[in-house]
């Protein structure tokens, strides 16, 4: 049996685009694209955690195992913990259900980072960017990293702040955080039983809860991918991205 479980939180009742994970993208529901990428890793079993029987039924149509979880789950992390709590895998990889362009290589890189760093509680991914529009966008979460890839902080603000702008530091990228996480089982259990932390509540960033409690998060650099699906406009962008890169 594999040491890895890939768990995909797939909430049907999204506020900005209800049912987004079942929206059609290039002939398949969004969640099927995510599932196929997860399967290609051959890391271990893939399960989809949802609150909706509609998602369970849709997943069965393309051969995926979906587990019905409580509607009371406050986050995708709570949802995957509930789905995985009676299992035995050492490592649980949380792949977002609205990321149809997630690459198998990205999932594998996060998994290797977690497995190869004994002190790492949580692994995640970042991409380098010098795009000011993205850096200034509060929906683009920035990560501040130590030289070994350990996360020091995550923020919606432009961090680190460049006190003096020189030709040299203009080229220093910011790190855009990507919403994929790998957890050691004991770290996931510890995390979901922690109360929301002060910085988490200020920034509305769940990963700050882990940092404030002293947990170690390591980041791995990946290549930028296509858009996640949060809105109807994102779905249109995803269709265009698919035509450009996959046809």
Confidence of residue 163 (pLDDT cuts 50, 70, 90): confident
82 DSSP 8-state letter:
H
The SS3 of residue 135 is: helix
Q: Is the pLDDT of residue 1 over 70?
A: no
The three-state secondary structure class of 173 is coil
Entry pTM: 0.94
Task: Return the pLDDT at 217.
Answer: 98
What's the mean pLDDT when you consider all of the chain? 94
With 0-12 / 13-18 / 19 or more C-beta atoms within 10 angstroms meaning exposed / middle / buried, residue 214 is: exposed
Q: What is the pLDDT of residues 15-24, one digit of tens each?
A: 889 899 999 9
Q: Which of 93, 73, 71, 69 is nearest to 83 (CA)?
A: 69
CB 50 within 8 A of CB 56: yes
Q: Which domains are seen in the chain, by residue range?
A: 1-103 (3.90.550.10), 116-222 (3.90.550.10)
**Residue 216: which residues within 8 A CB-CB, separation 6 or more?**
119, 120, 121, 122, 150
Q: Is the preceding omega at residue 160 within 30 degrees of 0, hence cis?
A: yes
Tokens 């996360």 locate to 151
pLDDT value of residue 246: 84
Burial of 153 (0-12, 13-18, 19+ CB in 10 A): middle
């Amino acid at each position: 049996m594999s040491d890895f479980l890939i768990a995909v939180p797939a909430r049907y009742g999204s506020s900005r685009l209800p049912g987004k994970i079942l929206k059609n993208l290039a002939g398949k529901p969004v969640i099927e694209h995510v599932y196929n990428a997860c399967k290609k890793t051959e890391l271990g079993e893939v399960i989809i955690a949802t609150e909706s029987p509609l998602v369970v039924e849709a997943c069965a149509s393309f051969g995926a195992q979906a587990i019905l979880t409580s509607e009371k789950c406050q986050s995708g992390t709570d949802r995957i913990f509930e789905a995985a709590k009676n299992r035995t895998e050492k490592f649980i990889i949380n792949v977002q259900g609205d990321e149809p362009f997630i690459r198998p290589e990205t999932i594998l890189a996060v998994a290797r980072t977690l497995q190869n760093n004994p002190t790492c509680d949580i692994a995640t991914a970042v991409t380098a960017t010098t795009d000011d529009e993205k850096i200034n966008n509060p929906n683009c979460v920035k990560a501040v990293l130590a030289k070994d890839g350990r996360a020091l902080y995550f923020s919606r603000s432009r961090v680190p702040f460049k006190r003096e702008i020189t030709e040299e530091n203009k080229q220093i990228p910011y790190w855009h955080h990507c919403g994929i996480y790998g957890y050691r089982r004991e770290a996931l259990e510890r995390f979901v039983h922690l109360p929301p932390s002060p910085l988490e509540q200020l920034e509305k960033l769940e990963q700050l809860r882990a940092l404030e409690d002293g947990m170690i998060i390591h980041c791995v650099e990946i290549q930028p991918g296509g858009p996640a699906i949060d809105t109807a406009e994102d779905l249109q962008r995803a269709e265009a991205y698919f035509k450009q890169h996959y046809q």
